[in-house]
Amino acid sequence: MFVHQHHLRHLLRPEHYTSEAQYRAELRHLFLPAWHPVATAGDLRRPGDFLTLDLLETPILLRNFDGQLRAFLNVCPHRHSKLTEKPRGRTEQLRCQYHGWEFQEDGRTARIPDAKAFRPWDRENACLRRFQVATCGELVFVKLTDGGPSLREWVGPLWELWQSYGGAYRHAATWAKDFPCNWKVVLENSLESYHIPQVHPHTFKDFPPETNAWHELTERFTSFKTMEPDEFATRMQHWIVRRLGEKVTGEYWHRVLHPHATGSSLDSFRMMQCVFPTGPTTCRYRCIFFTLRGHRRNPLAWALYRGLRSVATMVGKKVFAEDGSIYRGVQQGMAASPHRGVIGTREERVYVFQKYVLENARGAQELPVADGELVESSRTQAFDLGGDSRPLRVRLVFLHRLLHLPDGPLHAYEDGPADDRVADVQLLDAGDPDDGLHVPVVQPVAHVDVKPEPDRVGRRRPQLLQLRRQGRRADRL
């Protein structure tokens, strides 16, 4: 059952899939605060195992230190070499490939060849940059910024489910591919079943009727559930699942945790797919695939597990390739499109995703141009100037851009990033009327100054705020 009964507006415009500014905004606001599934614990099973990857323009090295997983920037503090360029391997020590500096599990240096040549020692600048790393089931996640929610808080309601990646399910394969398209092209394709008859005529054949399709739409994630069709391949699969000692539900689930972590599952497999932007019109799509092992330990169960693993992996890769065949064409069409686009009810998860992008990837030039008028709102704020002065009270006037969505309340987007969005400052009250408009007095509110940028409504001026008091205009900041 779909949530919406009428078609929806395509909220993102073609330029959102091509512009450098939008790409930068998404990196900063959507991806840097996020946790990213990048590997499995099995990839780093033994002490000394490591792997490297490029994640959001950042070279990463993941390593097992006596059972503890650590993630570092793969850049040496000595003279900037990558510590290693090998995609994976195992070493006794974490050692830079260039001059052989060695590092401990907290990122501090261990042995340094000819260490006396570096006296006096600059301890602070000789440490590897560390990143947060955590696991959910067998999945290893990395986060590139400090602080923020823990992995458990980030994954939220999907935690229990994603913990099942591991246990009865075993890692079968990981594959990745670069595509010449914006990352949202890949993600939006995964969010709808509408393309199935055209793109997967032999693997999936047809999309399920609405009566066999359930959508769940939330701000953090969206889900799609359908019951498997009653056909020979399904019955065969269910027989194997039972022989491996597991329960059959017959459910297919697909969930996307915004912005990009995509889990899908049948009784026979678990899959984690994740698309990472590598530029405005390029991305890397990684798939980590698990198949059912079950809990039975006998020769038949082993043979069935091996057979299931090889067939399911083959089908998974085939579906991945089928979807991959259309991304380039969508991106090329995007670059030349005069249309606004439209979203059908079967594609309503795309709409929720686009709304999420609009509401969260925001910044000055980064803010998508939305339809609707500009409106003002204001807030009074007091600034303590210290000394004997009475607090300075000012009214901060904000500009909002209203985006009219067809089926919901009006959404207001502040016309600028959080610390740079004040359109006007009105001085209401100050300690001394005579000095009230001079630079020293207004300095405490200087952080609300606007950036020098062309404005859309002619009210902002670079480095110049108009202060108004009792009808009198004056004074530069």
Residues in touch with ligand FES (CB under 6 A): 76, 78-79, 81, 96, 98-101
Give the bridge partners for 396, in sequence order: 379, 425
**Looking at beta carbons only, is 101 or 154 nearer to ligand FES?**
101
Token reading at 187: 């993600």
Q: Which positions ≥6 away from 432 have C-beta within 8 Å?
A: 389
Q: 143, 31 in Cβ contact below 8 A?
A: no
Q: 3, 355 in Cβ contact below 8 A?
A: no
Among 279, 260, 273, residue whose Cα is nearest residue 57 = 279
Partner touching 179 among Fe ion, ligand FES, none, CB below 5 to 8 Å by kind: none
- Residue carrying structure tokens 């020769």: 299
- In whole angstroms, the minimum distance from the beta carbon of 3 to Fe ion comes to 21
Which residue from 228, 323, 366, 424 is in contact with Fe ion, where contact means CB under 5 A?
A: 323
C-alpha span between 414 and 376 (Å, rounded): 10
> What x/- string results for residues 376 through 415 when contact with Fe ion is judged by CB under 5 A?
----------------------------------------
Q: Which positions ≥6 away from 195 have C-beta within 8 Å?
A: 189, 326
- In whole angstroms, the minimum distance from the beta carbon of 198 to ligand FES comes to 51
**Looking at beta carbons only, is 116 or 202 nearer to ligand FES?**
116
**Looking at beta carbons only, is 78 or 469 nearer to ligand FES?**
78
What b-and-e string marks burial along 347-370, b requiring 16 or more CB atoms within 10 Å of the CB? bbbbbbbbbbbbeebbbeebbbeb
- In whole angstroms, the minimum distance from the beta carbon of 5 to Fe ion comes to 25
Residue 246 sits in the site that holds Fe ion (CB under 5 A): no
Residue 347 sits in the site that holds Fe ion (CB under 5 A): no
**What is the signed CA dihedral for 89, 91, 95, 99, rounded to 10 degrees?**
-80
**Looking at beta carbons only, is 138 or 347 nearer to Fe ion?**
347
Residue 138 sits in the site that holds Fe ion (CB under 5 A): no
Partner touching 205 among Fe ion, ligand FES, none, CB below 5 to 8 Å by kind: none
- In whole angstroms, the minimum distance from the beta carbon of 196 to Fe ion comes to 7
- In whole angstroms, the minimum distance from the beta carbon of 353 to Fe ion comes to 15
Q: Which residues bind Fe ion (CB under 5 A)?
A: 323
